[in-house]
Amino acid sequence: MQFSSSLLENAVNEFAKLPGIGKKTALRLVLHLLKQDSEDVEHFSETMSRMRNEIKFCQRCHNVADADICSICANSLRKQEMICVVENIRDVIALESTQQFSGTYHVLGGVISPLDGVGPNQLNIDTLIHRVQKEGTSEVIFALSPTIQGDTTIYYIQKKLPAETKVTTIARGIAFGGELEYADEMTLARSLQNRLPVDSYVSSR
Amino acid sequence: MQFSSSLLENAVNEFAKLPGIGKKTALRLVLHLLKQDSEDVEHFSETMSRMRNEIKFCQRCHNVADADICSICANSLRKQEMICVVENIRDVIALESTQQFSGTYHVLGGVISPLDGVGPNQLNIDTLIHRVQKEGTSEVIFALSPTIQGDTTIYYIQKKLPAETKVTTIARGIAFGGELEYADEMTLARSLQNRLPVDSYVSSR
């Protein structure tokens, strides 16, 4: 692309560095910003800088936070003795959006994946073990990806948790709206194994 | 979406204001920025602010510019007596990328479209007429969208231009790589009307 303004070119290049944004999309976004009021663009820029510079990670669960402890951990109405272990911040947001979970979280920062060079020491596993021991957590719920790496991570952490702690994982099965014939064999086999009494199924809808 | 940090939430909301960016994409972009160095995010923000505050519009052709006159108008190697009339800045970038045009541009800022409330006075038409009269322009080339609005705009401007000015429009026809059977009747009819001698076609490839 040929630009007649280096200011425009620089802005397009900055946007094009973001994931999934090509040069053409970047140009569209920049031309949109160019049409906005100067104060609005200033506000956009300031919000990004502030977010990067002032955001903190919860010292207890490693979730993003505005303070040293995140708003979920600081909420006394939530069940502090119940911890849901997730891979990343995005999973916390997805689970919170269901408004069905009233416990706390622990963000691992990934799953054990030797091929990608991610071992237990790169993840927030030690802080989880320490937290469960110190707080006397009653239940640890794993909400990790249903992959070999996810299962390995569950297995690794479970062995390190105190024997009296209840350890569960979120249910695997056919998703609502999913077609049975398109489900993979593994999912289908597991959903048969873990079949539910019809009474509990109907009442939970 | 439920966020545990208002800094994160504000950043996501700012990104989601941009065209074609939904909440999920905005979150992905913000989490990407969060992983970058603080200086890189600072640079991103500054580039956007500077672009909006310092960018100028060329006083001659209304293209974006770093100075009062854009780099295309200021380039003495370009044919100043030839003006290509386009709708917007994006069209200038597209035409410049072909590296085939050595004249100058004039950005109208849209086309005449009464249904959208755009009349001749909302566009940079007066400055074009004035420029052609003052500079003694030899040729005005219209590169507008092949729509009724585009054709109306050409017709309106042409009547106001000096009679001695040569007025042309870019060729309409079947695009390279286009399938003949999928072309609309209008395009096919026009490309038959404006057929070219095979000699000129072969030599131009």
Tens of pLDDT, residue by residue over A172-195, are 888 877 787 888 888 888 888 888
A52, A58, A104: best to mutate for the B interface, most B CBs within 10 A: A52
Q: What is the pLDDT of residue A166?
A: 93
Q: What is the pLDDT of residue A200?
A: 65
Residue B200 has pLDDT above 80, yes or no: no
Nearest C-alpha of chain A: how many angstroms from B199?
A: 31
What are B64-95's pLDDT values in tens digits?
Answer: 999 999 999 999 999 999 999 999 999 999 89
Q: Where are the domains of chain B?
A: 6-54, 78-170
Tell me the C-alpha distance between B147 and B110, whole Å: 12
Tell me the C-alpha distance between B96 and B91, whole Å: 8
Amino acid at B81: E
- The answer to whether the CB atoms of A90 and B27 lie below 8 A apart is yes
- The answer to whether the CB atoms of B7 and A72 lie below 8 A apart is no
Q: What is the pLDDT of residue B183?
A: 80
Coil vs helix vs strand at A85: strand
Which stretches within B17-170 are classed as H helix?
23-35, 38-54, 89-98, 125-135, 148-160
Q: What is the pLDDT of residue A203?
A: 60
Q: What is the pLDDT of residue A105?
A: 95
**What is the four-CA torsion angle of A84, A90, A95, A96, rounded to 10 degrees?**
100
Provide the edge-to-edge strand list for the sheet that holds A79-86: A103-107, A79-86, A139-142, A166-169
**How does residue B205 score in pLDDT terms, banded at 50, 70 and 90?**
low
| A103-107 and A79-86 strand pairing | parallel
What are B153-188's pLDDT values in tens digits?
Answer: 999 999 999 999 999 998 888 887 778 788 888 888
Within 8 A of B39 by CB-CB distance, chain A residues are none
Mean pLDDT of B28-49: 94
Tell me the C-alpha distance between B162 and B158, whole Å: 8
Which residue is closest to A25 within chain B, CA to CA? B20
Q: What is the pLDDT of residue A179?
A: 80
Nearest C-alpha of chain B: how many angstroms from A5?
A: 5
CB distance A7 to B51 below 8 Å: yes
> What's the complex ipTM?
0.81
Within 8 A of A91 by CB-CB distance, chain B residues are none
Which residue is closest to A109 within chain B, CA to CA? B35
Q: What is the pLDDT of residue A190?
A: 82
- The answer to whether the CB atoms of B31 and A90 lie below 8 A apart is yes
| One CATH from 3.30.1490.20, 3.40.1360.10, 3.40.50.1370, 3.30.70.20 for A76-170 | 3.40.1360.10
Q: What is the pLDDT of residue B97?
A: 87
Low pLDDT (below 50) residues in chain A = none
Within 8 A of A20 by CB-CB distance, chain B residues are 25, 28
Q: For residue A17, give the H/E element and its range.
A: none
Q: Quick one: CATH architecture of B78-170?
A: 3-Layer(aba) Sandwich (3.40)
Tell me the C-alpha distance between A177 and A169, whole Å: 22
Nearest to A97 among B2, B10, B21 (CB): B2
Domain A6-54 has CATH 1.10.10.10: no
Nearest C-alpha of chain A: how many angstroms from B127?
A: 20
Residue B126 has pLDDT above 90, yes or no: yes
Compute how many other C-beta atoms are within 10 angstroms of the C-beta atom of residue A41: 22
